[in-house]
Structure 1
Amino acid sequence: MKNFFQGGFLAIFLSLFAPLSCFALDAVIYNENVLSQKVSDEINLIGKELYEKTGIFLALAVGNESSFESLAQKQKELPEPNILLILSKNSHKVDIIGSSETLSFFDKEAVLSPYAGTGTILPILASKKGDIYNAALLNGYGDIADRLAKYFNIKLESSIGNANRDTLNILRILLYGFICFALLYYTQRRMKKRYQNQVTKRRRRFG
Structure 2
Amino acid sequence: MRKILRDGFSRTIFLFLFLPLKIFAFDSVVLNENILNQKVVNEINLIGKELQEKSGIFVGVIASDEADFETLLNMQERIPKSYILLILSKKSHKVDIVGSKGALILIDKETVLSPYSGTGSILPILATKKGDIYNAAILNGYADITDRIAQARGIKLENSIGNANRDTINILRILIYGFVCFALLYYTQRRMKRKKNV
TM-score bracket for the superposition, by shorter chain length:
0.7 to 0.9
| Aligned 8 A contact 1:63 1:88 in 2 | yes
Q: Does 1:71 align with 2:72?
A: yes
Flag the 1:88–1:147 CA change in 2: closer, same or farther, 3 A.
Answer: same
- In structure 2, C-alpha distance between the alignment counterparts of 1:152 and 1:127, rounded to whole Å: 33
Report sequence identity in percent. 66
CA distance in 1, matches of 2:137, 2:175: 21
Query: What is the TM-score of this pair, normalised by structure 1?
Result: 0.74
Question: 4+ residue stretches of structure 1 with deviation over 4 A?
Answer: 19-22, 177-185
Equivalent AA in structure 1 for residue 118 of structure 2? G
Task: Give the equivalent residue in structure 2 for 1:109.
Answer: 110
SS in 1 for 2:86: strand
Which entry has the higher C-alpha Rg, 1 or 2? 1
Counterpart AA for 2:164: A
CA distance in 1, matches of 2:127, 2:45: 25
Mark the runs of 5 or more structure 1 residues left unpaired by the alignment: 1-18, 196-207
Residues 20 and 62 from structure 1, CA distance in 2 versus in 1: closer, same or farther, beyond 3 angstroms?
closer
Cα contact 1:24–1:57 (8 A) shared by 2:
no
Question: How many residues are matched?
Answer: 179
1:63 Cα offset (Å): 0.9
- Aligned residues of 1:86 and 1:94 also touching (Cα < 8 A): yes
In structure 2, what is the Cα distance between the partners aligned to 1:178 and 1:39?
A: 36
Q: What corresponds to 1:132 in structure 2?
A: 133
Amino acid at match of 2:110: E
What is the match of residue 141 of structure 1?
142
TM-superposed CA distance for 1:169, in Å, is 2.2
Alpha-carbon distance, 1:164 to partner: 2.6
**Cα offsets for 1:151-200 (capped at 9, x unmatched):** 10111111112323322223323543565577679x59x96xxx7xxxxx
How far, CA to CA, are the matches of 1:170 and 1:164 in structure 2? 10
Q: What is the CA–CA distance in structure 2 between the aligned matches of 1:86 and 1:106, rounded to whole Å? A: 16
Q: Would you say the 8 A contact 2:107–2:149 is kept in 1? A: yes
* Shift in Å, 1:35: 0.7
Instruction: Indicate the residue corresponding to 1:33 in structure 2.
Output: 34
Specify every segment of 5 or more residues in structure 2 that has no aligned partner in the other structure, as ranges. Answer: 1-19
Q: Normalising to structure 2: TM-score of the pair?
A: 0.78
